[in-house]
Structure 1
Amino acid sequence: MEHFSIIQALCRSAMADPSPAVRKQVERLRDALAKGGEDKQASSLAGILATSQRATEVAPSRIERSKAQFAGETLGPNTPVPVDRETAAALAEIIFPAQIQGRPPLFNPIVTQAVATIVDEWAHFEALSELEIAPAKTCLIYGAPGTGKTRLAQWMAHKLDLPVVLVRLDGLVSSFLGTTARNIGNLFTFANRYRCVLLLDEFDAIAKVRDDPQEVGEIKRVVNALLQNLDSRRDVGFTIGITNHPKLLDPAVWRRFEVQLEIPRPDFAMRKAIATQFMPPIEAPDSHLQLIAWFTEGATGAEIESLVRTYKKAMAVRTTERLDLLNTLRQFATLNAARVQSERRALLFSEPSRLFRAMRDDAELGFSMTDIAEITGKDKSTVSRQLGKAVKAEEES
């Protein structure tokens, strides 16, 4: 098979942390090669599959040893969760590892490496213990809405093979005096009893600055109760806090978290990777993925996923052979005006000559006339005339 060395490298990378679907496709490729008489190449893929299987069989034993360091009972599907005494509403949701997507969220290499370090610390608990140090047990994840913070926290729990006790802190707030602090205490008592990852979402709902003149004495008592319970859990289990508004947090809250991880908005390369991840089963041309990444400057992963859904819908209902990508982008920009950077939106609805010029001259995009023609459905001579028109207009201005 031509370029098999590249295919082999891709398979090896994919099998480093494979989903069942990825493993199945590599097995299909192995079988197809064997059937076609490519025995050497089929054997190579069989070796990659076997190595991955052995790693999968070994990894849980390390995780099991790390899980043993979490004191407490095992959470089960029928374990009752604490409830608010006045409303009887559940104070938490239990999410088990099997319910969490095993595929890691996409971040830039620096964030990805930092997250891997946190997980690896628990996988190598014994080695750290020999040095009389412990893995990080508290982590605050912050960033703009839609950047994948909650998904990241759940994926970390999945890697540790521990259930998540998911708490949205705004749901703990009660109008009854003293009830909110009691809810917090009951919740932490529950989490400390079981082996789990305690995930405190919407963390800023309670952990606000205690000196805020707009807040009454009750919320200050609530923050104090939260701080005390965080301290009591420090040596019990793994706790993750999530917030979209880090500036609202009390400085004392920050000090309770060993890891303070900011999730940035994705850059061009990551936006393209995110669009690629959400695109299947559609196989979009690379130029389309690049334009989607360019168009979503400043967007979050959730917003890119929304645009990809619009693209896939357009592909499903198109009545012509060619998808008009620019019209699809304009449709998205019209229906999601607040989610699109104003500069990109203005270019999209500008004269074709101006848009084509931007597509050609942008350092990240750098489209050729052939690329622009393919995306717009124009011939290269038309694209060339439009580009010339843009240059002339610029000179005249």
Structure 2
Amino acid sequence: MEHFAIVHAICRLALAQPTDALVFQVKRLADALLEGGNEEDASALRAVLLLSERSAEMTPRRLVPARGIAVSGEALLPNTILPADKETGARLLDVIFPSETAKALPIFSDAHRRAAEQLVAEWSNAERLREVGVSPTMSCLILGAPGTGKTTLAYWLAHQLGLPVVLARIDAMMSSFLGTSARNITQVFNFANRFKCILVLDEFDSIAKMRDDPNEAGEIKRVVNALLQNLDTRKPIGITIAVTNHPKLLDSAVWRRFEVQVQVPLPDFTTRCEIVRRYATPCEYSEPEILTMAALLDGCSGAEVEDFVRAYKKRFILDPVPTSPIEAMRDVIVINDGRVSNEVKAKFLTDDAHLAVWLKNNDELSLGVVEIASLIGKSKSAVSRLMNTKF
């Protein structure tokens, strides 16, 4: 390559302060040189890249000022070395940077949405709170049924603050070797305490079980004790969010370590309507269709509502096209049997006459005969006759 010595010098100087984009482009250049048969120049560039990576690992990372956010520490970089289990070599955590975390808050009730925004406001105004002698919330336990948006909420909170998530890998932390699980927990907390991040402990009940559970071996006591000690140490340092589907399994001492405990409920009718609307796009469904799907999914989680809506959209794309929205919903119910309650399923899978009466008498729906007719795919007069049938 002509003038490669100049290019090599430019790359070496630029990589003294590397960025992801710069490293990517230098790698592209090295690959292009190699493909062109210039192995010597390609090797020289790869040597510069390797030297830059080693320098980044050896050089202490700069401390990031708080700027109103409740945590401080070293900047967490994509090439930061992550802790691993000493016996198996399994990585103990994953790092999820803000560009990869949830940008949209799950659809919650107004009260739960305001609670999430309150946490962000506390963390973003930490200095103002400390001026009046109070501290922002540093630990949050999120609990609720599977599929209610708990983990997505944790990621959204991190995204709002522009902080990476340090996600503990519970499966890797728990070891069959005596004492190793407690050591792994300490490794994860030490890492999170060093960097500017939010520590997320998903499936928290796996490491925070009741110590008096007769079904658990003595090792769980050591694990929970190590967890409690590390939670106490971390409290003034950084934000910790734990997520669990099984709050009843948690040790009683664990609850006291969390300043905020957010119970994420199953979505109510209004919230289910909003979830249907969000995931119906780009398809356009009538308001009676949206209301009816929300009604038949009573007792479902937000994730289950989302799955049902996706299946409903696919049903209309397939051949043959259903003759009515109710026919499509019935087809989707059959392949989503576990998501729909037996009571609602019995109403939808019965004859049109019984279903029409149920739709008419459902106070949440408030549907008229014309709207019910559009759902069932019959004329207004035919539906009126069905509803007047003596059962």
Same fold (TM over 0.5): yes
Query: What displacement does 1:170 show?
Result: 3.8
Alignment of 1:274-353 (within 5 A): 274-320=275-321, 324-353=324-353
Distance 1:64 1:309, change over 3 A: farther
| Counterpart for residue 158 of structure 1 | 159
SS at match of 2:182: helix
Q: Does 104-113 or 198-207 show the bigger shift?
A: 104-113
- Do 2:150 and 2:264's aligned partners in 1 also have CA atoms closer than 8 Å? yes
- Do 1:310 and 1:328's aligned partners in 2 also have CA atoms closer than 8 Å? no
Query: What displacement does 1:285 show?
Result: 1.2
Q: Does 150-159 or 76-85 show the bigger shift?
A: 76-85
- Do 2:357 and 2:387's aligned partners in 1 also have CA atoms closer than 8 Å? yes
In the alignment, the residues of structure 2 paired with residue 181 and residue 280 of structure 1 have an alpha-carbon distance, to the nearest angstrom, of 47
Query: What displacement does 1:267 show?
Result: 0.5
RMSD in angstroms over aligned alpha carbons? 1.4
What is the identity, as a one-letter code, of the residue corresponding to 2:343? E
In the alignment, the residues of structure 2 paired with residue 274 and residue 243 of structure 1 have an alpha-carbon distance, to the nearest angstrom, of 22
| Counterpart for residue 375 of structure 1 | 375
| Counterpart for residue 220 of structure 1 | 221
Deviations 1:328-364 (A, max 9, x none): 2222222221211111111111121111101000110
2:180 counterpart of 1:186: no
SS at match of 1:253: helix
| Counterpart for residue 66 of structure 1 | 68
Deviations 1:176-211 (A, max 9, x none): 111111110111111111000000000001101111
Report which of the two has the higher share of helix.
1
- Do 1:162 and 1:196's aligned partners in 2 also have CA atoms closer than 8 Å? yes
What is the identity, as a one-letter code, of the residue corresponding to 1:298? G
| Counterpart for residue 360 of structure 1 | 360
The answer for unaligned runs of 5 or more in structure 1 is 1-62
| Counterpart for residue 105 of structure 2 | 104
Deviations 1:56-81 (A, max 9, x none): xxxxxxx96123x4231111111121
Distance 1:323 1:352, change over 3 A: closer
Q: Return the TM-score normalized by structure 1.
A: 0.80
What is the identity, as a one-letter code, of the residue corresponding to 2:68? S
- Do 2:154 and 2:200's aligned partners in 1 also have CA atoms closer than 8 Å? yes
- Do 2:185 and 2:227's aligned partners in 1 also have CA atoms closer than 8 Å? yes
| Counterpart for residue 34 of structure 2 | none
In the alignment, the residues of structure 1 paired with residue 359 and residue 317 of structure 2 have an alpha-carbon distance, to the nearest angstrom, of 26
- Do 1:168 and 1:202's aligned partners in 2 also have CA atoms closer than 8 Å? no
Distance 1:323 1:82, change over 3 A: farther
Deviations 1:92-117 (A, max 9, x none): 11111111231211100111111111
2:84 counterpart of 1:113: no
In the alignment, the residues of structure 1 paired with residue 379 and residue 233 of structure 2 have an alpha-carbon distance, to the nearest angstrom, of 68
SS at match of 1:334: helix
Query: What displacement does 1:119 show?
Result: 0.8
In the alignment, the residues of structure 2 paired with residue 227 and residue 323 of structure 1 have an alpha-carbon distance, to the nearest angstrom, of 59
In the alignment, the residues of structure 2 paired with residue 87 and residue 286 of structure 1 have an alpha-carbon distance, to the nearest angstrom, of 55
Deviations 1:244-287 (A, max 9, x none): 00000011000000000000000000000011111111111111
In the alignment, the residues of structure 2 paired with residue 342 and residue 319 of structure 1 have an alpha-carbon distance, to the nearest angstrom, of 27
Deviations 1:284-308 (A, max 9, x none): 1111111110010000010001011
- Do 2:91 and 2:172's aligned partners in 1 also have CA atoms closer than 8 Å? no
The answer for unaligned runs of 5 or more in structure 2 is 1-64
Identity, in percent, stands at 47
Distance 1:332 1:259, change over 3 A: same
- Do 2:210 and 2:249's aligned partners in 1 also have CA atoms closer than 8 Å? yes
In the alignment, the residues of structure 2 paired with residue 335 and residue 199 of structure 1 have an alpha-carbon distance, to the nearest angstrom, of 34
What is the identity, as a one-letter code, of the residue corresponding to 1:97? P
Bigger Rg over Cα: 2
What is the identity, as a one-letter code, of the residue corresponding to 2:67? R
In the alignment, the residues of structure 1 paired with residue 169 and residue 336 of structure 2 have an alpha-carbon distance, to the nearest angstrom, of 27
Alignment of 1:23-102 (within 5 A): 65-67=67-69, 69-102=70-103
SS at match of 2:209: coil
| Counterpart for residue 385 of structure 1 | 385
What is the identity, as a one-letter code, of the residue corresponding to 2:336? N
In the alignment, the residues of structure 2 paired with residue 307 and residue 323 of structure 1 have an alpha-carbon distance, to the nearest angstrom, of 19
- Do 2:123 and 2:136's aligned partners in 1 also have CA atoms closer than 8 Å? yes
SS at match of 1:65: coil
- Do 2:360 and 2:369's aligned partners in 1 also have CA atoms closer than 8 Å? yes
Alignment of 1:191-202 (within 5 A): 191-202=192-203
- Do 2:308 and 2:336's aligned partners in 1 also have CA atoms closer than 8 Å? no
SS at match of 1:364: coil
What is the identity, as a one-letter code, of the residue corresponding to 2:277? T
Query: What displacement does 1:223 show?
Result: 0.5
In the alignment, the residues of structure 2 paired with residue 344 and residue 75 of structure 1 have an alpha-carbon distance, to the nearest angstrom, of 50
SS at match of 2:157: helix
In the alignment, the residues of structure 1 paired with residue 66 and residue 132 of structure 2 have an alpha-carbon distance, to the nearest angstrom, of 20
SS at match of 2:140: strand
| Counterpart for residue 36 of structure 2 | none
In the alignment, the residues of structure 2 paired with residue 340 and residue 149 of structure 1 have an alpha-carbon distance, to the nearest angstrom, of 22
Q: Return the TM-score normalized by structure 2.
A: 0.81
| Counterpart for residue 231 of structure 2 | 230
In the alignment, the residues of structure 1 paired with residue 363 and residue 162 of structure 2 have an alpha-carbon distance, to the nearest angstrom, of 43
